[in-house]
Amino acid sequence: MDEHSTQWGRVLGEKFFQRDTESLARALLGTVLVHETKEGTSAGRVVEVEMYRGVKDRAAHSHSGVPTARTQVMFGAPGHAYVYFIYGMHYCLNVVAAAEGVGEAILLRALEPLAGLELMTARRHLTWPLPTGSLRTLTNGPGKLAQALAIAKEQYGWSLWKPPLYFYTGTSPLLPEEIAEGPRVNVGYAGEAAQYPWRFWIRGNAFVSRP
């Protein structure tokens, strides 16, 4: 039993991820994502996510229904890491969802930093200690959280129910009234899919990227 097993609950097993995509997106809120590296352990509570639903969703990388070199893991078993590079500068971490062959995933949009704060600050090329009130900006975006937790192309396809990259139960499950929903961010190109209420966040949490 490690030092965090009590304060963060228990490690989530493979079975946790085997549910429909919206249920998984909501269930991920309040869980704690941990990454163990040679530099140390960093962790944050998941406070905001977006779901992407394959052929049903023009905003999804897997919308064509045909796996590519980039999206192959999205069509695999749930609970694996789909990591992609965007804008020529940021990595983003997604949790593969739904059954094999479907091509759905959940983007982690924001974390509440819990452990390894100094390490995460250095990875973000910032100076520790952070100015008062600035901690909320450390991981409040998909690119920020990936950089802070040292998540890049190397983590593509990793299983997310065992070290070194995995989840604890944290404060999940949340009550339904604790979860807000609304349109996703930066998907204006997706037509009517841009308005789908497929972004979920913990209501009132200061670490959400966009309340």
Measured in whole angstroms, the distance separating CA 170 from the mean position of its chain's CA atoms is 14
CA distances, 204 to each of 81, 90, 126, 142 (Å): 28, 27, 26, 19
Q: Are 108 and 145 in contact, with CB atoms under 8 Å apart?
A: yes
How many other CB atoms are there within 10 angstroms of residue 6's CB atom? 9
Measured in whole angstroms, the distance separating CA 71 from the mean position of its chain's CA atoms is 16
Mean pLDDT of 87-100: 94
- 3 pLDDT band, cuts 50/70/90, is low
Whether the predicted pLDDT of 1 surpasses 60: no
Q: How far apart are CA 55 and CA 76, in angstroms?
A: 15
Whether the predicted pLDDT of 27 surpasses 80: yes
Tens digits of residue pLDDT in 101-139: 999 999 999 999 999 999 999 999 999 999 999 999 999
Tens digits of residue pLDDT in 151-207: 999 999 999 999 999 999 998 899 999 999 999 999 999 999 999 999 999 999 999
Tens digits of residue pLDDT in 34-71: 999 999 999 999 999 999 999 999 999 999 999 999 99
CATH node for 14-201: 3.10.300.10
Show the tokens assigned to 119: 């390490």
| H runs (alpha helix) in the chain | 21-28, 117-123, 142-148
Closest by CA position to 141, among listed 207, 59, 66: 207
Tokens 């639903």 correspond to what residue? 53
Show the tokens assigned to 51: 């779901």
Mean pLDDT of 72-94: 95
Looking at residue 5, its pLDDT comes to 64
Closest by CA position to 148, among listed 171, 114, 172: 114
